[in-house]
Amino acid sequence: MKLIKNKVLYVTMIAISVAYIVYVVSANLFFDPQATHFLSHKTSLNHSINVPVWLNVLHIHVIVACLAIVTGTINFLNKIQRKYRKFHRMNGYLYILAVFAVCGTSGYMAPYATGGRINSMAFNLMNIIWILMTITALIQIKRKQVNKHRKWMVRSYAYCFTNLLIKFLTFVLYDVLGMQYDMSYTSAILGTILLNYSLAEIVIRRVYRIPTHLGLSKNIN
């Protein structure tokens, strides 16, 4: 029963990832490459924005973010973890590179965040947390702490859905409930930080409650 539940969760995760990648790539690289809609909400910025550079950074951000989602999703597959360890390792390093690239590009865009300073700070906070969680996951597996590695990877992977959650919450607050845009966006970012944390902890408690080991060592905590 638990195995079936986990399979359903994993298939749902793949479906959401694929649908979201198709959406985010087509929206940002093909239908609105000038980000006209998103930029139209940047009305009260503290810094003047160099739009061509910002757009190039955004496009890189979107591509590396999709790479993080793909590599992250693949590495949670049990079969990959058990049978193809070399692939899991290489794919894991690719995930780490992607996370650093997302945070680097995010670091450039953060000062120009819609809604001003509070959102710039929130994005930078997320950059720091995401990098620290990902490095902690790497340190744990270097110490052969398989279950700790998995838990930290769940916490790190949750950040792959940051933009999806911000968009969803902004949609609910702005389009559905009619809140002012900047306020909706700020609340959505803060809500996303809480949701990233909570969703990861729920998955950890439900899926990785009972330690399993891959035969790496006796120490499986």
List the Cα angle 59/9/205 in 5-degree steps.
Answer: 105
Site for ligand HEM in 170-199 (CB under 6 A): none
Does 38 bind ligand HEM (CB under 6 A)? Our answer is yes
Kind plus residue range of the DSSP H or E element containing 192: helix 181-207
What residues from 156 to 175 belong to the interface with ligand HEM (CB under 6 A)?
159-160, 162-163, 167
- Of 45-74, which residues contact ligand HEM (CB under 6 A)? 58, 61-62, 65, 68-69
Torsion angle of C-alpha atoms 138, 142, 143, 145, degrees rounded to 10: 60
Backbone Cα Rg of the chain: 18
Single residue of 76, 123, 152, 157 touching ligand HEM by CB under 6 A? 123
Q: Which is nearer to ligand HEM, 130 or 174 (CB)?
A: 130
The residue range among 10-18, 74-82, 123-131, 142-150 that interacts with ligand HEM, by the rule CB under 6 A, is 123-131
Scanning 87-95, 100-108, 136-144, 199-207 for contacts with ligand HEM by CB under 6 A, the matching segment is: 100-108
Q: Which residues does 15 contact at the CB level (< 8 Å), separation at least 6?
A: none
**Closest CA relative to residue 28, chosen from 61, 75, 50:** 61
**Minimum distance from CB of 219 to ligand HEM (Å)?**
31
Nearer to ligand HEM, 73 or 114 (CB): 114
CA–CA separation, 62 and 53 (whole Å): 14
| Burial of 164: CB neighbours in 10 Å, binned 0-12, 13-18, 19+ | middle
Q: Provide the binding-site residues for ligand HEM, judged by CB under 6 A.
A: 24, 28, 38, 58, 61-62, 65, 68-69, 102-103, 106, 109-110, 112-114, 123, 126-127, 130, 159-160, 162-163, 167
